[in-house]
Structure 1
Amino acid sequence: MLSEQSAATVRATLPAVGAAIDEITTRFYDGLFTAHPELLRDLFNRGNQAARTQQRALAGSIAAFATHLVDRPDERPDAMLSRIAHKHASLGVLPDQYQVVHKHLFEAIVEVLGEAVTPEVAAAWDEVYWLMANALIAVEKRLYEEQGAHEWRAWEVVERIEETADVATFRIRPADGRPVPAFRAGQYVSVQVELADGAHQIRQYSLSAAPGAGARQITVKRVAAVAAEGADGAEAPAGEVSNHLHATVREGDVLRVSAPFGDLVLEDADAPLLLASAGIGVTPIAAMLGHLAETGHKGAVTVVHADRSPATHALRAAQEAAVAALPDASLHLWYEADAPEGARAGLVDLAESGKSGESGELKGSGGITVAPGTRAYLCGPLPFMRAVRSQLLGLGVPAADIHYEVFGPDLWLAQD
């Protein structure tokens, strides 16, 4: 909880800090990578830095956390903290690194705001930082304890499956023969690769098959290499790790893979579910759907997927097989082009609110029914998730029952 004195100072200075937060985070990363170039080379996503999406995500999280402290002092934004902590744990972030971040972040704040950063202001925002940092350190410590500390393990690629022209599935098993750590449907692993320039870049990929499916698998989409000016003055193309996997990794190759992390996971209950995905966002949803089929989920399951066309729809066969195996499941498809019979053309539209029947079920367009007590899980591009979330709220699904996963920096907060 923020002290009363600091709360008053943060409330008074939040507009000024908020107005300058984008410049502060940009200067922070520039200073951090100048002092520690190894962090950009071997820890941070160079593509996100080049596109400045990581800066926007950091700005959004800081502003959201500070606003939460002053508006709801008796609560903690656990959902936001959990999402960040899982990502940090998958990268192997350590407590000492928060001291490094603190140094360069506050140097950037002073550089941007100048004389406005009085000792009182500095002390108040220092308190905000350490409340957030210590909360993250505590969650990450628990995650490391659950996984037996962070380590990179060698996993052998036992099969490569070409799902579409731009999507490949890599089935992997531990090369060292040790037991496989458990995971929950919806979680991801980090994959570290050495690129041509010697950098050891890390990316997260959802485990795209159910926990009981045998060999683990990740499903990776090739990303168009759009070069941009990186924070270190060098060009850093987007999708460099995904494209490296597509170009070089074949059966028999070995990958460095982390333990599973991620907090978008199914609760083990027979509540009605709605699983909505778009594009490569199908990967965690496919694992969830497979898990439901394996465990004999009794409740209603509504599966919604959107894609550019049937030719770009990865893991469709797995979705169809799982839906067929469930006693009360339906699959609803939207394609922007070449929609076949039984699918819908255009963008997902669930909106058409209104109650129908004595059970209180909510009817959406196209015959989709949202049963009372439905929990929804979303994954895909941010505009897709925002639109579907808005439609579900219109159909009466409580905000607390709508969960989402963002691939890459979480820009949801940055755009609110």
Structure 2
Amino acid sequence: MKLFNSLTGKEEIFTPVKPNEISMYVCGPTVYNYIHIGNARPVVFFDVVKRYFKYLGCKVTYVSNITDVDDKIIDEAQKLNIDEKLLTQTFTEAFIKDTLALGSDLPDLMPKATNYITDMIFYINDLIEKGYAYQSGDSVYFRVQKIGHYGALSKQVLENLNVGARIDVDSQKETPFDFTLWKQTQTGLAFESPWGKGRPGWHTECAVMNHSIFNHLIDIHGGGSDLKFPHHENEMAQSCAHDNHELANTWMHVGRLDFGNEKMSKSIGNIILVKDLLENYEYQSFRLLLLSHHYRQPINYSDDLMKQFDNEWQRIKRAMKQAFVDISIARYKTVDINLDALERFREAMDDDFNISNVMTVVYDQIKSMNRSKEVEEIARYYHTITLILSILGIRLDLMPLSDEQIERYQAWQQARAEKRYSDADRIRMELVDLGLL
């Protein structure tokens, strides 16, 4: 398998730290609002990554955090005049509901930042003792310039960073590039610490949860491409200072899902919430849209694009439903797989998750299935497509046919064969009502 590593900027042979075990950490949501469809892209993609590794027989530990202490949370809670914990609980539950509605499984662990405050305090204190962090005024900062290769992940040159645009201006810092590990606060949720009552910085939350859960170099760290700098860069810097490794062997970043050629943003308001989209479309249609584009490439979402992939899904579903009925009517029970198609599927997935090529395999199988008249062939294509789609998190949700349904379908076929068109039309309407046609 080859994966594109954002840190090295090239595709590399992927070798797990431990044979047949995959450790993966993906940055999760800050729970102060519903997620939009741009937020959904990493949720869907890394779910497929886990599914594929499990299909290969690997033991996978997939961790995705919940950021439940943050300035955005405090601001939103104050605006709504509700308790922060109630806000984060409400939107954590909403995120879980949306994740499942998208056809994704929940990660193995979903650690909340507020459950790791003590670990964060010890971690920050270690960085201070090692000379990588310092207290100044009401905050603790990380000394960025002590990390000689800082900027390697995001391909940033430290001296060229735009202070005031992407770097917060703060007169308490030794240099403008240093970032906050802990800050004192009189507003919102706060915790006791050696540096005053306050809360941790966002970059420290993820670095510490990763360290506390895995406590070793992991295989994959992932998230959206917009997290590469400064969030992931600062996570990696802390890991280099604290643990003498770059946190992950492979860094994977998912391209943005834009709307109208502009980044989706809750602050701008140009967003479509996942829960709203799924009121109008089946999740399989949206999942198909996301996965048919290579995960590293941006997608410019539009209503027309969504309708295009909804039509694609309806065509797939119709073909699979007809094949399912044909197999059921023939009472054919053998499960066989097209090994050539499966090999092409694996080649595409092993090529940096080239799922657009996987869909070419799926469409080829559907085309052959539609042309076939032999139930053994139809069943082989059907089960091959079903397996591939299941690894992509796309379910068909077809219910087994009852004896009565099979009998009515056979009666319709016989009426057609005997040219009893009136009976055939009547039975056909029954089959439509039963959902078989």
- Give the number of the structure whose residues are more often strand, by fraction: 1
Q: If the length of structure 1 is used for normalisation, what is the TM-score?
A: 0.22
Pick the structure with greater CA Rg: 2
